[in-house]
Amino acid sequence: MTGTQSSAHKSRLSSMIWGNILALSAAICWGLNEPANKAIIPDWISASGVALGRIFGATLIIWILSLFFKKEKIQHGDWKLLWASALMMLGFVYVFSLAFNTASPIDIAIILTFQPILVVVINAIFKHEHVSMLEIAGMIIALCGALIVILGGGNFDSGRLVGDLFAVVCAITYAIYLVIIEGPSQKYGTVSLMKWIFLFTAILALPLIFTIPTDMPILTHGKALPWLLLGFIILFPTVYCYMITPPAIRLVGSEVLAFYQYLVPVITTVVAIAAKMDSFHWYQPVSFVIIVGGVILVNYAKARSDRK
C-alpha cells in the first residue's frame, strides 16, 4: 500500500468512526428525549411550556452559533420553503409535547419509527415517485405495527389513544418537514438553514405564549431537576441532534444513520422502565419488530429499484 493509499484509507476509517459516533450519540439523545419529556410533562411544566422552551431556546443557541460561521445568502425562491418547514417544525415540536400528557414514552418512540414510511408515501403523492408493489407491502406491514401500538394491543385506553394519535401527527409533520427541506439542505449549510427555520418557527409559535399557565410547579417549587431536564431537551435532542445529523449522513450515509434510529425505542424502553415511568407490554416489542421489518422491506425495495 502506497503512502497516498494509506493516507486515503486512514481518512476513510476516521470518517467512518466519527460518523458512527455522531449517529450513535444522536440515537442516545433521542432515546433519552422521550423519558425526559415524560418526567416533566405535565407534572412540572405544560406541553406548551416545553415546546416553547425548545423552540426559543434552540433559536437563541443556533443564532449565537451562526456568528462563528460564514453567512450564506438564501435565494428568493427558497424563503417560502423555509417558512413551510418552520410550520411543520412547529407542528412536530408542539404536538410531540402534547402527546406526553397521556401517552407512554415507549409508545411514542415506537410510533416515530414509522416516520421513514411516511416520507416515502409523501414523496409518492406530491413528487409522483414510483412505488413498487414490494414497497407497498412494506408500508402495509409497518402500518400494521403502528396500529398495534395505537390500539394498545387490544387494551383500549382512550387517554393513551389520544396521546398515540398525537405521536402519529408528529411523525406525519416531521416527514413533511424532511421532504420540504430536502432541496434547501443540498444548497445551504446546516447552521444557515437551522437559524432561519428556528427563527420562523419561533415567530409562528408566539401565540402559544398565551397558553402557558403562570402557576406551573417548575416556576413555583424551585427544584433544579426539572430545569436540568428541560435544559437537556433543548441542548441535546433539539440543537445537538439537528446540527450533527447532516454531517453524520455525509460521513456514513443515511442507511447507517437509519440503523441507529432503531436503537431509539430500545433506549427509551430501558430508561422509562428503569425510572418507573412506564411499564412493559407484550405488544410493544412485537409492534416494534413489525414496523422495523416493514421499513427495512421498503428500503430494500427502493434500493433494488434504484439499481435498475
Buried b (16+ CB within 10 A) or exposed e, 170-200: bbbbbbbbbbbbeebbeebebbbbbbbbbbb
> Smallest Cα–Cα separation from 115: which of 150, 90, 82, 139?
139
Q: Is 219 left (phi over 0), alpha (psi -120 to 50) or beta?
A: alpha
Give the helix ranges, DSSP H, for the chain: 3-40, 47-66, 79-99, 105-112, 115-126, 133-150, 158-185, 190-205, 217-220, 224-233, 241-252, 254-261, 263-274, 283-307
- Cβ–Cβ < 8 Å for 301, 138: yes
Gyration radius from the chain CA atoms: 20
> Smallest Cα–Cα separation from 164: which of 221, 223, 105, 229?
105
d(Cα 166, Cα 208) in Å, to the nearest integer? 17
d(Cα 154, Cα 203) in Å, to the nearest integer? 41
User: Going by C-beta distance under 8 Å and a sequence separation of 6 or more, which residues neighbour residue 48?
Assistant: 94, 97, 208, 211, 212
114, containing H or E segment:
none
pLDDT (tens digit per residue) in 78-118: 999 999 999 999 999 999 999 999 889 999 999 998 888 88
Tell me what pLDDT residue 87 has: 97
Q: What letter represents residue 248's amino acid?
A: A
Cell 395505537 locates to 150
pTM: 0.89
Cell of 137: 407491502
Rounded to the nearest angstrom, the gap between the alpha carbon of residue 8 and the centroid of all alpha carbons in its chain is 34
Tell me what pLDDT residue 1 has: 53
Residue ranges of the chain with pLDDT lower than 50? none
Domain ranges of the chain: 12-307
- Cβ–Cβ < 8 Å for 126, 175: no
Tell me what pLDDT residue 234 has: 97
Tell me what pLDDT residue 233 has: 97
